[in-house]
Structure 1
Amino acid sequence: MALFAKRCKYVAIAMAVMLAGCSTSTYSSWEQPLIAVPLQPTIQQQIQLARIDQLLGRSDLNDETRSQIYYERGLLHDGIGLRDLARLDFNQSLSLYPAQPDIFNILGVYFTQSAHFDAAYEAFDSALELDVSHPFAQRNRGIALYYGGRFDLAKQDLLAHYQQDPNDPYRAIWLYMVELESEPDKAKQSLQNRFDRAEREDWGWNIAGMLLGGESEQQLLDGIVTNSETNEQMAERLTESYFYMAKRYQHNNQYAEAVQLYKLALAGNVYEFVEHRFATLELNRLLASLQGEEDTIGGVGDEL
């Protein structure tokens, strides 16, 4: 009977996750959750892509110039969500001019998204060897180490990255995410201490405040509606907020809520934000974990 009850529990969780069904939490009872108009490729981006395609057809370009053009087209493809095309462009650029830390950095992010962590570490190491002061490679390596389960090394990277700018809320938040895994008893107090010391001029500190319980999710989202000056800004802030809200629900084993929020983090098409980049990875890992638990229970039941 106990095994049957446990099996039913996981079936219920899996169904809730897959169908994003009803929940008792405040936000998930909304019939229409708050979303911005999803971002679309701009006319300027499309014109730039057309011009670059024309440039690449020329035969008088040297390798360095052609490499730069491939890189710029890769950034454009990445910005509108065409990541496979972007990866091809970045690889083409590297084949012509290998010493490009920015490309190694973004390829490392792509490897992290696809859970190829060893390749990600190598890419970030290459970026830092070429430019030890690269503004994002150390952070992104720390995030890759976090997703790869190497929490102590992840903390080293993310702590060093935080110390370079203690007033950046996202540095503090990612460090908090790692500390939740490595030092769960101290993580919240550490974030509170960093919150108290910061100047908190950046909007992202509102997310840190929500994680600390200083304001509710509803207050955070209401503030986005009230203070966003453009649809683009609203989409960006919602992407960030939904992602970190999902992380909190997932940490508390509230899987159906987490899945809904990860989907909402993807809804704005803010492709360049790390929160959008890793929402799909989080969804895939969460669904695979739940499916694995259900398969394990199903196997035991079959043996009985």
Structure 2
Amino acid sequence: MSRFQSLVSTKWLFECISNSNASSKLRILDSTFHLPKANRDAYGEFKQKHIPGAQFFSITDCCDHSSEYEHMLPKPQDFAKYVGDLGINNDTHVIVYDASDGYGFFSAQRAWWMFHVFGHEQVSVLNGGFKKWCEDGYATSNIIEKVKKDTFIPKFREELVKSFEDIERNLNEKSFQVIDARGSDRFNGTGPEPRPGIKPGHIPSAKNIPYGTVVDKTAGTLKSPEELKEMFVSSGIDLEQPLVASCGSGVSACVLSFAAFQLGKTVPVYDGAWVEWYLRSTPEQRANCPEDTV
């Protein structure tokens, strides 16, 4: 991934929106996604209130609908049509944000990663998300503007995506480290998974860094590079060695990939994540899984 400006402030975005020349080159996307147990309607909330000019990017619509797993990456041509319908071409600067309770560090990074996977590096995450935008006193809107469809040409980057087979081989080869972005209770097998039929636990030898750890709770923004480095290192991660991010279903893993990106490191994501791993692996390939230890 290139070192394109990947993180922008609410002030920066406000100034761009206020500048007609700058705003014409932007496409703002609300990529809010809520876990099933939240019982919230992301698109319904978007229709009520969003950053002026924003379009809605649904990771549950822009996905591989033929897969048995949730919001897996779509085919390149399907991604191209989806974002083209949102008025995005290969020269568009895309700004992604979400309205999660975690200061916009949850599903926005999934959208950021997806654009990178399909070869679009001109994409930035709004630091602090919609929550900080509102806290900073900037205007919101309930008007969904019509946009002119455009043409986006995808360039799939397979090196940014890991499969079940990649992770399985790595159990023996140990060619990369695995970090898991789920909460520690789910990782350690002591708390429930949010999806029916899935038990908690983790991939053997994986390290746990809950995705919320990346946030400076006082400022409501991403931690500094120095703090992010300490976060990885204190969790037993060697930043000089290859690293792959995982989570429950491929969303919050992208938060850790994004955090590592701030340190100049490219971190692929295991798209199927724990849900796929749990359903396809053998008991010997799962650690701290309750049903495997009874």
Provide the TM-score with structure 1 as the length reference: 0.26
Relative to its length, the structure with more helix (as a share) is 1
Provide the TM-score with structure 2 as the length reference: 0.26
Larger Rg: 1
